[in-house]
């Protein structure tokens, strides 16, 4: 898995090695390269499904954080290596569209998406809806004592027991931090209250970890007891690894972000890229994504009775946060730079 901060040269070199190691053994002349944060297990499953439906095609994927995908595609602008970008919050795709990094392609299922779940110019399209949650070690914390809302994570009893995925490389954490700042702007017209909340969270935080795998392992080993993350990933690790980790859907509201997919501009294999985008938004791919990986389809015409019962129950509990997504896309990078320079590790432990 590739999830690292650091120089772009080292990142590119390691990613290319991994890209060569991932994927099946199809015809080398028919390769589709996918950059994605969806995780090894899900990527392997959909690699096999797409290759089975397209004999002779070799899916090669590189697994890295959402922000890292964006940075990588931007750094490769002059010589694109990826065909498809599969997975990240829509504001990142919107930013990429503004930087002319995406190719226009409108899949047949695009008409089933709400207007706010796709690019008006056909440059990216929503694939899933992903709620953010508060996760905790269920062996150490009874369900009724776990934090029930965002502010509860700031309770003194969790000081030094919070572990956070490095927000600078993570679209999930950038969305959660963006929600905090957006709430501050709606309530006061200023970002100060939001950054003060993030400073308090920093004082609670034991560690900012490099990648999701480390996050899950440390949480399971009780090296930390509480984190903020996305619901599908928590469900997947519970199912696949039997980790003692559970979650709470925050009562006051949570970001329900659009997780999108797009063809990379200048893709080496544009036709295969379009086929892959068409595939991941089809009912044939959405059904196993919901069943096996707890992904909530963004398409409004996906049959509700095809969703697992637990996913239907979760959807009924979610109170979507009214985030100004355009403001998050435009101002979010500056907010995160300010956090990195003036909030991270500034509060003491």
Question: In this predicted model, what pLDDT tens digit does every residue of 103-155 receive, in sequence order?
Answer: 999 999 999 999 999 999 999 999 999 999 999 999 999 999 999 999 999 99
Q: What is the pLDDT of residues 48-101, one digit of tens each?
A: 999 999 999 999 999 999 999 999 999 999 999 999 999 999 999 999 999 999
Give pTM, 2 decimals: 0.85
What's the mean pLDDT when you consider all of the chain?
A: 91
Sign of CA dihedral 8, 85, 211, 57: negative
Confidence of residue 22 (pLDDT cuts 50, 70, 90): very low
**Dihedral, 327, 328, 331, 333 alpha carbons, nearest 10:** -160
Q: 268: burial class by Cβ within 10 Å (0-12, 13-18, 19+)?
A: middle
Full set of structural domains in the chain with CATH? 8-129+258-312 (3.40.190.10), 131-255+321-342 (3.40.190.10)
| Gap between the Cα atoms of 253 and 237, Å rounded | 24
**Mean of the pLDDT values across residues 212-235?**
96
Q: What is the pLDDT of residue 348?
A: 53
Q: Please, are residues 57 and 51 in contact by the beta-carbon 8 Å criterion?
A: yes
């Amino acid at each position: 898995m590739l999830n690292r901060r650091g120089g772009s040269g080292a990142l590119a070199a390691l990613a290319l090695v991994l890209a060569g190691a991932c994927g099946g053994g199809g015809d080398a002349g028919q390769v589709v390269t996918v950059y994605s944060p969806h995780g090894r297990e899900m990527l392997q499953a959909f690699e096999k499904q797409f290759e089975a439906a397209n004999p002779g095609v070799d899916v090669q994927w590189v697994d890295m954080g959402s922000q890292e995908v964006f940075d990588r595609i931007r750094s490769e602008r002059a010589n694109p290596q990826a065909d498809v970008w599969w997975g990240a919050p829509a504001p990142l795709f919107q930013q990429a569209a503004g930087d002319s990094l995406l190719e226009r392609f409108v899949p047949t299922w695009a008409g089933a998406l709400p207007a706010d779940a796709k690019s008006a110019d056909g440059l990216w399209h929503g694939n899933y809806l992903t709620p953010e949650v508060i996760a905790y070690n269920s062996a150490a914390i009874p369900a009724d004592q776990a934090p029930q809302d965002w502010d509860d994570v700031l309770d003194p009893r969790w000081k030094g027991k919070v572990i956070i995925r490095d927000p600078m490389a993570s679209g999930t954490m950038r969305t959660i931090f963006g929600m905090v700042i957006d709430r501050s702007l709606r309530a006061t017209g200023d970002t100060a209250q939001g950054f003060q909340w993030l400073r308090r969270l920093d004082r609670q935080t034991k560690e900012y970890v490099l990648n999701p795998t480390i996050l899950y392992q440390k949480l399971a080993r009780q090296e930390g007891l509480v984190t903020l993350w996305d619901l599908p990933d928590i469900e997947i690790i519970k199912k696949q690894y039997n980790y003692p980790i559970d979650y709470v859907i925050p009562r006051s509201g949570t970001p329900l972000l659009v997780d999108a997919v797009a063809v990379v501009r200048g893709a080496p294999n544009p036709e295969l890229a379009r086929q892959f985008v068409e595939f991941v938004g089809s009912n044939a791919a959405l059904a196993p994504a919901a069943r096996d990986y707890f992904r909530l389809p963004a398409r409004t015409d996906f049959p509700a009775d095809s969703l697992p019962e637990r996913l239907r129950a979760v959807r009924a509990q979610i109170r979507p946060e009214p985030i100004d997504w355009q403001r998050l896309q435009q101002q979010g990078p500056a907010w995160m730079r300010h956090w990195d320079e003036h909030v991270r590790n500034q509060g003491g432990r």
